[in-house]
Structure 1
């Protein structure tokens, strides 16, 4: 964003703030036209700053995803590797429920030319992988797990429960059932 004119930077910041509120209220399917209207700009301006819905959602979630990645690094120093992994997965699920649309971003399968190192899914995967590797090395979880398996699990729970009357309770129950299956004996 450096190198942009100051009015373009202001537009970008304002559009992003409006998008954050719209995504929080309406999820990943928030209308780009409504975002433009509320921001007081044309839809072409929104698309100039965020050429795809995925690009907009990535920008909306980037800061919180960064915090989840930092938490994974911090938890890497915990003595109980299984507990650290489960705690991080629980935080990822909680944020996925609170930030409507994050699960959609994490479940998106990018085309090869769209895959970027700074995408939310890439960042989350890279942050969680060392926690999983350590838990596997400690024989605290099954050795056939991958970080992709765990992300699919979290995304699936978030998407399956987001429209329940009490999504947090339902997601927590599903999470506890799934965590029981992470054991080294498959139970």
Structure 2
């Protein structure tokens, strides 16, 4: 285990259980970016909103929780930077910054940092705290995405909420429930195997 994993004030995240140090961190960061990009290509366009429904938000939250705040934030930040400079990584192969849902992608970076920090504090170990962790991560993405959407479209906050939040609440609830099952179950398996 790395020094991060054994520091008395910080609990390990799942990625800390992988041996290695710098090379591991680089590879995990790149893998996190790739995971977010691939999940972002799984898109369901909704005709009543310019914001696509994708699995990227789930990937961001899972990446932040499993990689921790530094690697998770770096993964989301690299995804943002590459897409902003022209690599077609965003939903539907889009890129750049001048589109209605770019604020959500900015929110990915903040959400990965928050979720990673909460996971570092063991909030990914049981279902209820994982629900809280994932809910706060989702709210962080909305907090960045909705104002950008409102400004980009020139609409008021109520309209932006109708276009950029309401259509996604059921999907977000399913993603949060999936995380609340996946992360604590993984930790239980690791505990039983004696890896910690």
What is the TM-score with the length of structure 2 in the denominator? Answer: 0.43
Q: Report which of the two structures shows the higher radius of gyration computed on alpha carbons.
A: 1
What is the TM-score with the length of structure 1 in the denominator? Answer: 0.45
